[in-house]
Amino acid sequence: MRLTTIEKKVLAGFAATFVILGITVIAGGYAVRAFINASRWVTHSYDVLQSIDEIQTRIQGTELDTRAFMVTGNALQLKQRDETYENLSGLLDRVRNLTRDNPTEQVRVALLGDAALQLRGLQDRMIAARQKSQISAGAAQTEMAAAYQALQQPDRLLAGMRETEKGLLDQRLNQAHATAMRAVVLFGVLLVFMFGIKLYLFFRIKDEVHERERMDEDLVHAKQTLEATNRELEGFSYSISHDLRSPLRAVNGFARILETEYGAQLDDEGRRIISVIVRNSEKMSTLIDDLLAFSRVGRNPLTATRVNMTALVNKVHSELTASGDYPSTRFSIGDLPEASGDQAMLTQVWTNLLGNAFKYSSRSPNPEVAVTGELQNGECVYLVRDNGVGFDMKYYEKLFGVFQRLHSDAEFPGTGVGLAIVQRIVTRHGGRIWAEAIPGQGATFRFSLPAEATA
Amino acid sequence: MSELKQVEILLVEDSQEDAEITIRGLQMANLANNLVWLKDGEEALDFLFCRGRFSHYTDYRPRLILLDLKMPKMDGIEVLAEIKRNPQTRSIPVVMLTSSAEEGDIVRSYNLGVNSYLVKPVDFRKFSEEIAKAGIYWLVMNKVPG
């Protein structure tokens, strides 16, 4: 399949669009995954921060419980404190786990654990003293101050951790935002590319359509010019048939009258000169008639019907030999395939081809003319072979030209229009004509017609 | 003008030479004795309908009209149409004599009721033969309403 430039461009454009679409899909997948990753880290940071807050609340909670026990001596407060410590150790594990990748935080978590233990020790001591009622108000005051001091350590640690995690959170939020922005920019660029390609294709196609419209207009114009030329030609050939034949008839007629009425007063040379005038006026008349016949082939419309070629050739043959010409020529005809075409025009084809074959073989010792035909690759191919004078293949190019002859008028009379007419008719039917010959041995003419009507 | 009573052939032909050749052809068959030759269509119609310079004539109907197709002013087709339109002249045989075998002219002539259409051959002998045959056929063999 051959593609025009515009078709190639459109195909390339669509291919490029599909490639860009593919890139978009893949890049989109990566971008979404990167964004989900970044988001996961953000969630992680929030988890850590939340845990840190809870640890602080719990540590303060144990201190509050302890102080409440110191005041009320209620065992329920102790139970609550123990539960809080258990929760606290779970939370510490959780933070340790969450900050596995951060050595600084691991140290802080360890220190936090130690600080919590220390605080618990202090609290335990105070509780034991309270239970034994051995603690004085002053001592309790001191112990509480110490516990308060002990509380500062986890607070500091937690504040540090919170700070670190907030930094990380900021960093991770930024990263997620950057990932999203990168995806947006990438999609934007791809979109612009795609739009650009479409725009380019749009203008190419627009140009192409415009160009074709212009060509259509040219074609219409050319057709009109051709029709006008044809009409002119028609008028021209009409004039030829009228205006040239009339004076020619006068030349011929008056030469004949001269011959009839004054022939006795002329010598032989005078009479010969008259015969030259007569002969040439008749020759010119034939030329005009043939030229008109040739122009008519192009102008008359084709009326295609099924044509029985065998019957047609037999009819042409009997007309050709009706006057008793060519008595010694042996004629044979094979089984010819039926053709589809204009009956009158095909009659003309056979008349000219058979006429030539008989004429150019008439001087052979045993003149023979054979007509055969067959179906070949959906075409009807017909063949006319004679054993006459043939022609030199060197002049093949001239064979089908108007007024072109390969033999002199003295040898074989003719105007050189017959084969031109044949070629024109065959071509108008969508067929071809060709020939081969050997001088002195004969010629073979072949012509093809489509098996089905095309006209 | 008594000889006009026997007018047998009206030849309408603008070319002097063609007319002479036609008349000679008819002479060979002895048919040109009562022949009137007119040079254009208008004159021919004046003659047939006794108008213009033929206004003092009455009822000289030719038995055959030989009509050239291509003439200046009024051509053969127009003359033919006029002849065949008028009941007085409709039955006179009209033979078109022309140089052209143009299908369109032939069809138009027959549509107007031409009786015969001859293409004049260039060869004088053939022409004489054909014109003599036509003359004999239309004047001798053919019967027309009295």
Single out the residue of A60, A66, A81, A87 nearest to residue A158, CA to CA.
A60
Which range has the worst mean pLDDT, A27-36, A377-386, B124-133?
A27-36
Model confidence at A358, in pLDDT bands (50, 70, 90)? very high
- Chain A residue with Cα closest to B24: A257
| A439, A377 Cβ separation under 8 angstroms | no
Model confidence at A406, in pLDDT bands (50, 70, 90)? confident
| A439, A390 Cβ separation under 8 angstroms | yes
The pLDDT, as a whole number, for residue A168 is 87
Residues A244-262, mean pLDDT to the nearest whole number: 91
Instruction: Using CB atoms, pick whichever of B17, B20, B99 lies closest to residue A245.
Output: B99
- Which alpha helices (DSSP H) does A243-308 contain, by range? 245-262, 268-299
- Chain B residue with Cα closest to A251: B122
Is A234 in the B-facing interface, judged by CB distances under 8 Å? no
Is A295 in the B-facing interface, judged by CB distances under 8 Å? no
Single out the residue of A157, A52, A44 nearest to residue A104, CA to CA.
A157
Single out the residue of A336, A329, A313, A297 nearest to residue A419, CA to CA.
A297
The pLDDT, as a whole number, for residue B52 is 82
- Encode chain B (146 residues) as per-residue pLDDT tens digits: 444 446 789 999 998 989 999 999 899 888 888 899 999 899 999 998 888 888 877 667 899 999 999 888 888 999 999 999 999 899 999 999 988 777 788 999 999 999 999 999 889 999 999 999 999 999 888 888 76
Which residues of chain A are within 8 Å of residue B125 when distances are taken between CB atoms?
256
Beta bridge partners of B124: none
Q: Which of A241, A246, A279, A286 to mutate to test the interface with B (most CBs of B within 10 A)?
A: A246
What is the rounded distance in angstroms from the CA atom of residue A439 to the CA atom of residue A417? 21
- Chain A residue with Cα closest to B15: A246
CB contact under 8 A, B18 and A248: no
pTM of the model: 0.55
What is the rounded distance in angstroms from the CA atom of residue A188 to the CA atom of residue A4? 33
The residue with tokens 């204009």 is A342
Q: φ, ψ for residue B97 (rounded to 5)?
A: -120, 120
Q: How many CB atoms lie within 10 A of CB A248?
A: 19
Distance from CA of A252 to the nearest CA of B (A): 6
Residues A197-222, mean pLDDT to the nearest whole number: 92
Percentage of chain A beyond pLDDT 90 is 35
The pLDDT, as a whole number, for residue A455 is 42
CB contact under 8 A, B124 and A252: yes
More reliable by pLDDT, B47 or A73: B47
Query: Is residue B97 classed as helix, strand or coil in its secondary structure?
Result: strand
List residues of B whose CB lies inside 8 A of any A CB: 15, 17-18, 20-21, 24, 70, 98-102, 120-125, 127
- Which alpha helices (DSSP H) does A73-102 contain, by range? 75-98
Distance from CA of A326 to the nearest CA of B (A): 24
Residues A57-81, mean pLDDT to the nearest whole number: 86
Q: Which of B24, B69, B122, B126 to mutate to test the interface with A (most CBs of A within 10 A)?
A: B122
Residues A205-216, mean pLDDT to the nearest whole number: 92
Which tens digits make up the pLDDT trace of A128-144?
888 887 667 677 777 77
Helical packing angle, B76-85 and B41-48, nearest 10°: 20
- How many residues in total does chain A contain? 455
Which range has the worst mean pLDDT, A379-393, A425-439, B46-60?
B46-60
Query: Is residue B82 classed as helix, strand or coil in its secondary structure?
Result: helix
Which residues of chain A are within 8 Å of residue B100 when distances are taken between CB atoms?
238, 241-242
The pLDDT, as a whole number, for residue A299 is 74
Single out the residue of A248, A320, A308 nearest to residue A282, CA to CA.
A248
CB contact under 8 A, A282 and B123: yes
What is the rounded distance in angstroms from the CA atom of residue B60 to the CA atom of residue B62? 6
Is A279 in the B-facing interface, judged by CB distances under 8 Å? no
Distance from CA of A259 to the nearest CA of B (A): 11
Query: Is residue A234 classed as helix, strand or coil in its secondary structure?
Result: helix
Single out the residue of B47, B44, B9, B23 nearest to residue B139, CA to CA.
B9
Cβ pairs bridging A and B (under 8 Å) = 57
Residues A287-305, mean pLDDT to the nearest whole number: 82
What is the rounded distance in angstroms from the CA atom of residue A216 to the CA atom of residue A210? 10
Model confidence at A71, in pLDDT bands (50, 70, 90)? confident
Looking at this predicted complex, what is its ipTM?
0.79
The pLDDT, as a whole number, for residue B3 is 42
Is the confidence at residue A270, as pLDDT, over 80? yes
